[in-house]
Amino acid sequence: MVILAGDFNGLDDADVIARSSLNSIVNQPTRGANRLDRVYVNDSNYAVRVVASTVRSDHKAVIAYSGAPPQPLNKSRHQRLFRRRSPSQHALFLQYASNLSIDFFEDASAQTNFDAMYAVICTTFSIAFIRNEK
């Protein structure tokens, strides 16, 4: 079994097929209207699927497989609610946070000081959040 795959920018498809006796199995464009990413095989049991790349690229991804087509596993759709934040809300938050008083103790452990700070932040911001919701 021979598989030759890659980005063949400068090579002519017919020339590669004639010189190597391999079959090109990518029949869809992989970058714009061009088929630059190709897969050549000597076995006709392979099929390809051209999909959008998961990384930032202007090339599409080519998935070669034999047997049943692979099912996409990571596709899900969720609708989330969110509140937009305005610059004035950010300014009010920074003003509010600058007036917080968090006491640290030199003889306490880092974990104890962190727990005290976390408790102040959680109670203060949950109270502020409840006030803003009303």
Report pLDDT digits (tens) over 45-79: 888 888 888 788 888 888 888 888 777 766 677 88
Residues 19 and 55 in one domain: yes
Residues 20 and 58 in one domain: yes
Surface-to-core class of residue 62, CB atoms within 10 Å of its CB (0-12 exposed, 13-18 middle, 19+ buried): buried
Q: What is the pTM of this model?
A: 0.48
Number of domains making up the chain: 2
Contacts of 58 (CB under 8 A, 6+ apart): 31, 32
Residue 22: give the domain boundaries: 3-66
Angle at Cα 29 formed by Cα 16 and Cα 48, nearest 5°? 75
Surface-to-core class of residue 52, CB atoms within 10 Å of its CB (0-12 exposed, 13-18 middle, 19+ buried): exposed
Residues 28 and 61 in one domain: yes
Neighbours of 108 (CB within 10 A): 13
Determine, yes or no, domain membership for 8. Answer: yes
Determine, yes or no, domain membership for 101. Answer: yes
The predicted-structure confidence for 81-111, as pLDDT tens digits, reads as follows 887 888 888 888 788 778 877 788 889 999 9
